Structure 1
């Protein structure tokens, strides 16, 4: 089944065209990573798919036009972790993550014991259980990033949108988060659509990669076909060396020669 099908997607913000006719398909259970230089439209693409910015063109989620999905049904279908989400003041970590279960709570009802158990399980898997009673705004940037992911995971949606999931995370927790997401993808059939700046590890997790530049798709395919020295030099204006590893290509920056 196709999880995401985007056709001729266009987004204009502040009078400027950010996305200029993007086509994208993501199959159920697949991990697709979107890369591209600053201003390419990566985050806007995710926000449009998540229904967070107005767009033209068509977006279908698991075979249903996104515009036809009621809000609660859409929340059960798509979970998103965007950059710099609003942090509610005075809210404890457990309560914030529990908000991810809202689509399953009946109107005027309360969370069930199963909802509470789901939150506890996700907090444990993300090494956050010891922070359950802490106020969210007292955590470090990396700790908050894991809490944002926990809220999205506890939502139980089939599609997970991740906008720069490694933001503010040290390399150890970055690996923990990506490995957990990949495990859920393999064990539960989760579909992942992510944006990543860190090309050093982006190719190790994606089944496919999409390179955006100037609001359009300029390359798409297996990581080995997209993470090439030629494409990165052209669209990032970067000097890099691509090293092929067991799990995918690794991108290493190379300094220019000094005289």
Structure 2
């Protein structure tokens, strides 16, 4: 039996002295899509940063059976690729140059990208329908186009684990579907593993194999979308009034106005 792509055991993270994650356990099987949901401040992005090696977590995280802290930086970059909420893009950078940054783990120190690196970048741009964008500056692209470029850089790394932190938060519904369909197609075609965070609960439930609900730095529910997206759990942890409707690909979460409170006259 192969090792899980991600194994997190009793992960505890404090930032500026404040506890953010308080004993999180999480397992993601190879090839699985797991999405972490939860209210603001639950610790979702912190969890992804720890899995990606951006926060210290000695002894708590293993990637494909290897303790995370034993992976050198270049080794980790060949295993894990991250698409952050708002990646920092150097001013004036062209699409091809940005995507080639994903090949950094394969370029020797003081070396230049090889023909194989260029081929990998061109290939992923073609697969993401960005073939005509090589020389365009990222600043001139639409939100959906930029998001595809961010994804292209991650895929150019050749990593088998994708960490997606709110990958569609700034996109309209059309671009959301476009990006997520691309991720799912590539996952199935190339055996990628996806660990994501999302605010849109209906979208999360439609694409993920499994949802993990975080609240106050702890896992309070984990399972298939229909097991986690329930009116009771969402009312308890989001303090939200919703209706959950069963859809073709997963539960659909519909916000509804709460019953008005009766104000007694003095």
1:193 aligns with 2:200: no
Equivalent in the alignment of 1:231: 233
The CA deviation at 1:29 is: 0.4
The alignment partner of 2:104 has SS state of helix
Change (3 A) 1:211 1:83: same
Q: Cα deviation per residue 1:168-188 (whole Å; 9 max; x = unaligned)?
A: 222222112111111121111
Equivalent in the alignment of 1:202: 204
- Which of 106, 109, 113 is equivalent to 1:107? 109
Moved more, 125-134 or 213-222: 125-134
Q: Cα deviation per residue 1:78-131 (whole Å; 9 max; x = unaligned)?
A: 000111221112211110111101111233332222322222232233333333
Once the two structures are superposed, the pairs formed by residues 48-63 of structure 1 within 5 Å of their partners are 48-63=50-65
Aligned pair count?
259
Moved more, 210-219 or 97-106: 97-106
The alignment partner of 2:150 has SS state of helix
Moved more, 161-170 or 228-237: 161-170
The CA deviation at 1:27 is: 0.5
CA distance in 2, matches of 1:57, 1:71: 17
Moved more, 234-243 or 103-112: 103-112
- Which of 177, 181, 184 is equivalent to 2:183? 181
Larger Rg: 2
The alignment partner of 2:69 has SS state of helix
Once the two structures are superposed, the pairs formed by residues 67-146 of structure 1 within 5 Å of their partners are 67-146=69-148
1:156 aligns with 2:193: no
The alignment partner of 1:32 has SS state of strand
Moved more, 28-37 or 142-151: 142-151
Moved more, 92-101 or 49-58: 49-58
The CA deviation at 1:57 is: 4.6
Change (3 A) 1:68 1:11: same
The alignment partner of 1:45 has SS state of helix
Moved more, 82-91 or 27-36: 82-91
1:170 aligns with 2:151: no
The CA deviation at 1:257 is: 4.3
Structure 1 residues not aligned, in runs of 5+: none
Whether contact under 8 Å (1:9, 1:23) holds in the other structure is yes
Change (3 A) 1:124 1:170: farther
The alignment partner of 1:54 has SS state of coil
Whether contact under 8 Å (2:124, 2:152) holds in the other structure is yes
1:11 aligns with 2:22: no
The CA deviation at 1:56 is: 4.7
Change (3 A) 1:252 1:128: same
TM-score norm. by structure 1 comes to 0.95
CA distance in 1, matches of 2:140, 2:181: 26
